[in-house]
Structure 1
Amino acid sequence: MKVKVKYFASHREATGLDEEVISIDDEKSVSELFDILSEKHPELAKFKKHTLFSINRQYANLDTKLKDNDELAMFPPVSGG
């Protein structure tokens, strides 16, 4: 199963990538895939509880299950005034 992961802002800086395709053996939740990505990119781990996720351009949470060929995008929280 393959999932395209897109990184934005601080996530892009932490990984040094705009996007990557990850191959996983079986169905994983967003949380499980984030943990796998954090092993590959240790700087990413600190963002887990503050990250916004979307799957195929629909907001998702950490419990959402990923499917083959999904696109997972990660965004830092939006702030400003």
Structure 2
Amino acid sequence: MNISVIYFSVLKKITGKSQETIHMEKSGNAEDLFGILAQEYPEMEKYKTYMRLSVNQQYLPFTTELKPNDEVVFITPVSGG
């Protein structure tokens, strides 16, 4: 199944992309998807503790089962002044 992943902030810098489509061989949850991404972009792993997850513009837990064509955003903390 194909999942659309959108990157913001530090994740955009790490991946060098604002979005991409990830193909998952079998069904899984957002935790599984993160594992696939962390293999490709190992630096993402250090931000995981601080991330929130959005699936189809709803905040959900990492245990959320994904469906084909879902839109996923892993959200890192943002600060500014």
Q: TM-score, normalised by structure 1?
A: 0.91
Q: Which residue matches 1:50?
A: 50
Point out where structure 2 has 5 or more consecutive residues left out of the alignment: none
> Given residue 28 of structure 1, which amino acid in structure 2 is its aligned partner?
G
Identity %: 38
- 1:75 CA drift (Å): 1.2
Q: Which residue matches 2:13?
A: 13
> How many residues end up aligned between the 2 structures?
81
Q: TM-score, normalised by structure 2?
A: 0.91
Post-superposition CA distance 1:42-61 (Å, at most 9, x none): 11111111111100001111
Q: Which residue matches 1:22?
A: 22
Q: Distance in 1 between matches of 2:42 and 2:75?
A: 17
CA RMSD of aligned residues (A): 1.3
Point out where structure 1 has 5 or more consecutive residues left out of the alignment: none
Q: Secondary structure at the match of 1:59?
A: strand
Q: Secondary structure at the match of 1:25?
A: coil
